[in-house]
Structure 1
Amino acid sequence: MGLFKDYRGDDFRFSVWKMEENIDELLTLLPDNECYAQRLSQFSSLHRQLEWLSVRVLLYTMVGGHKEIIYEQSGKPFLKDGSYHISISHTRGYVTLILSALHPVGIDIEQYSERVSKVSSRFVRSDEVVTLYKGVDTWSLLLLWSAKEVMFKCMSRVEVDFKKHLKVFPFQIAEEGILEAQEYHTADHRLFSIHYLVQTDFVLTWCVDKL
Structure 2
Amino acid sequence: MALYLRHREDGIQWAVWKMEESLDVLLSLLPNTRKISCEKELLRFTSERRKMEWLSVRVLLYSMLQEDKEIVYSSEGKPFLSDHSFYISISHTKGYVAVALSSLNSVGIDIEQYGQRVHRVSDRYIRPDEQVESYQEDLTWGLLLYWSAKETIFKRMENADADFRKLRLAHFIPQVEGTFQVQEFATQQQKLYTVGYRIESDFVLTWTEN
Q: Please confirm whether the aligned pair reaches a TM-score higher than 0.5, indicating the same fold.
A: yes
Partner of residue 62, structure 2: 60
Identity of paired residues, percent?
Answer: 49
Q: CA deviation at 1:25?
A: 0.5
Q: CA deviation at 1:2?
A: 1.0
Partner of residue 143, structure 2: 141
- Measured on the aligned residues, the alpha-carbon RMSD in Å equals 1.0
Partner of residue 15, structure 2: 15
CA distance in 2, matches of 1:99, 1:130: 29
Q: CA deviation at 1:10?
A: 2.4
Find the residue that maps to 1:42 and give its secondary structure: coil
CA distance in 2, matches of 1:41, 1:177: 40
8 Å Cα contact 2:127-2:168 kept in structure 1: yes
8 Å Cα contact 2:160-2:186 kept in structure 1: no
Amino acid at match of 1:3: L
Find the residue that maps to 2:97 and give its secondary structure: strand
Is 1:196 the counterpart of 2:197? The answer is yes
Is 1:166 the counterpart of 2:167? The answer is yes
Deviations 1:57-99 (A, max 9, x none): 0001111121000011211100000000100100000001011
Deviations 1:140-166 (A, max 9, x none): 100001110111011122432111x11
Alignment of 1:122-137 (within 5 A): 122-137=124-139
Alignment of 1:178-193 (within 5 A): 178-193=179-194
Normalised TM-score (structure 2): 0.96
Partner of residue 117, structure 1: 119
Deviations 1:174-201 (A, max 9, x none): 0011111100011111000000001100
Q: Aligned pairs, how many?
A: 208
CA distance in 2, matches of 1:6, 1:51: 18
CA distance in 2, matches of 1:120, 1:133: 17
CA distance in 2, matches of 1:44, 1:138: 33
Partner of residue 5, structure 2: 5
CA distance in 2, matches of 1:143, 1:21: 28
Normalised TM-score (structure 1): 0.96
Amino acid at match of 1:62: M
Deviations 1:95-147 (A, max 9, x none): 01011111111100000001110111110000000112222210010000111
Amino acid at match of 1:87: S
Gap runs ≥5 in structure 2: none
Alignment of 1:96-111 (within 5 A): 96-111=98-113
Gap runs ≥5 in structure 1: none
CA distance in 1, matches of 2:52, 2:112: 17
Is 1:92 the counterpart of 2:127? The answer is no
